[in-house]
Each structure stands twice: as structure tokens, then as C-alpha cells.
């Protein structure tokens, strides 16, 4: 057994597929704390900006909820311009850390 065999990869899955102008967007829905599943039906994919934008998150729940709120605010400030809202949010988020 080598050193890497003792590590188990655990992560959230968010996937988006576009084909023939149709989109499928999904998340796994599982919230864990180390090896314990806390919730099996979390909503990690949401509609934003009057249902015109789909977003998904992976990572800490507290950060994700804050990011959803801040992204929604930036989308409203920038008229639904996702690229500009994301850039402005990343600038703000980087300064908060």
C-alpha cells in the first residue's frame, strides 16, 4: 500500500450539459461533515435573476449561501450581465478573505 491509497476523494458534483440548444444542469444534493452525511437532499442548483440564470455550488454550505446571495445582488446591480456580476463578485469576495 502506498501513501496515496489511504486518501479517499470526496467532492460535490455539479454538472451542466448543453446539446441541441437544450440544457441539463444537476447537483448531487449530499451534505457531509467529514465521513457523516448530514443531508441527502440539499438544493445545490438554483434559478436566479427572474429564472433566467441557473447556478450551482460546491463547497462549504455557509460560503455557498453567501455567494448565492451576493451573486443575486450583483446580477441585479448589473442588469443580469452574468460575466460582469461574476467579476465584481470575485473582486469583492477576494477582499473579504
Residue whose C-alpha cell reads 447556478 in the numeric block: 55
Strands 45-48 vs 36-39: parallel, antiparallel or unpaired: unpaired
Helices (H), 13-97: 61-77, 82-96
Task: Locate 69 and state its grid cell.
Answer: 446571495
Contact in structure between 10 and 30 (CB atoms under 8 Å): no
The active-site residue out of 12, 13, 61, 66 is 12
- Establish whether 13 is a catalytic residue: no
Catalytic residues, by residue number, are 12
Amino acid at each position: 500500500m502506498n501513501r496515496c491509497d489511504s486518501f479517499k476523494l470526496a467532492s460535490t458534483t455539479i454538472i451542466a450539459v448543453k446539446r441541441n440548444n437544450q440544457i441539463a444542469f444537476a447537483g448531487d444534493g449530499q451534505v457531509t461533515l467529514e465521513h457523516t452525511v448530514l443531508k441527502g437532499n440539499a438544493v445545490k442548483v438554483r434559478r436566479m435573476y427572474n429564472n433566467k440564470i441557473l447556478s450551482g455550488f460546491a463547497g462549504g454550505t455557509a460560503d455557498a449561501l453567501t455567494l448565492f446571495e451576493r451573486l443575486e445582488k450583483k446580477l441585479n446591480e448589473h442588469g443580469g450581465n452574468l460575466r460582469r456580476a461574476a467579476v465584481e463578485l470575485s473582486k469583492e469576495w477576494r477582499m473579504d478573505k
